[in-house]
Amino acid sequence: MYYLTHFHTMHKFIEDFMEDVCVHLKNAPADEIAKATHILQSVYERDGRIYIFGNGGSLAIATHWVSDFNKTVFSHNLEGHTRRFQAIRLPSTEEEMSAWANDIGFDMVFAGPLQNYLQEADCIIAISSSGKSPNIIKAVELAKSRHVPVIGLSGFDGGKLNELADAKIVIKTEPGNYTVVESVHHAILHLLTKYFQDYFDHLQARNEKRQG
């Protein structure tokens, strides 16, 4: 009897969590995600770089996306694209993060390295579930001061990140629902990778057809 009750409770928990993630994914702002694709396309055409960062789980999401995006987009024709996307996670090493945090302050672990690299042709992707992390906001404000477009992935009420971002991808939940927000953020970044992979595959197929 205990097993049956426990199984029913666990099954209900699983269904409820999946439903929660699915509902918030369906409610994600499609127009703002489309705006993010336009920003990334423009950066590619300018041969600029994409800097992405976040704290904790968001940093893990950023790192995962960089490993996917830099390789997967052109994976079907690696030799055919001399120009590639250049996505970089900040800071690029844990040593650099600890140096900025220890010597200057944790609020500068993203803005500090960004000062070294950021050019007008670039864009940034800032990930913060709360949208309020001081180190995220400092880096975003630096980008804005240099007229560099900002893609913001936030949650809850969006916070200051959503106010400052050019592409405002906010996953609206009750405060503290990190599991759902981070799950949807991850899915959206996979969407961006898949979109550009399909886009460049389509261009390649069209060019081959013309040449044939």
Q: In whole numbers, what is the pLDDT of the chain averaged over residues?
A: 93
- Domain at 28-211: CATH code: 3.40.50.10490
Percentage of the chain beyond pLDDT 90 is: 83
Q: Helices 178-211 and 2-26 meet at what angle, rounded to 10?
A: 50
Q: Over the stretch 147-196, which tens digit does the pLDDT of each residue have? A: 999 999 999 999 999 999 999 999 999 999 999 999 999 999 999 999 99
More confident residue, 187 or 7: 187
Inter-helix orientation angle 57-72/178-211, to 10°: 10
pLDDT at 57 over 60: yes
Q: For the chain, give the number of residues.
A: 212
Reported as a pLDDT band with limits 50, 70 and 90, residue 4 is low
Q: So what's the pLDDT on residue 104?
A: 95
State pLDDT tens for residues 25-52: 999 999 999 999 999 999 999 999 999 9
For the whole model, what pTM was predicted? Answer: 0.93
Cis peptide before 91 (omega within 30 of 0): yes
Going from N- to C-terminal start, the domains of the chain cover 28-211
Q: Which residue has the tokens 């200051």?
A: 160
What mean pLDDT is predicted for residues 46-75?
A: 95
- The angle at the Cα of 196, spanning 192 to 199, to the nearest 5 degrees, equals 140
Residue 2: its pLDDT value, please?
A: 53
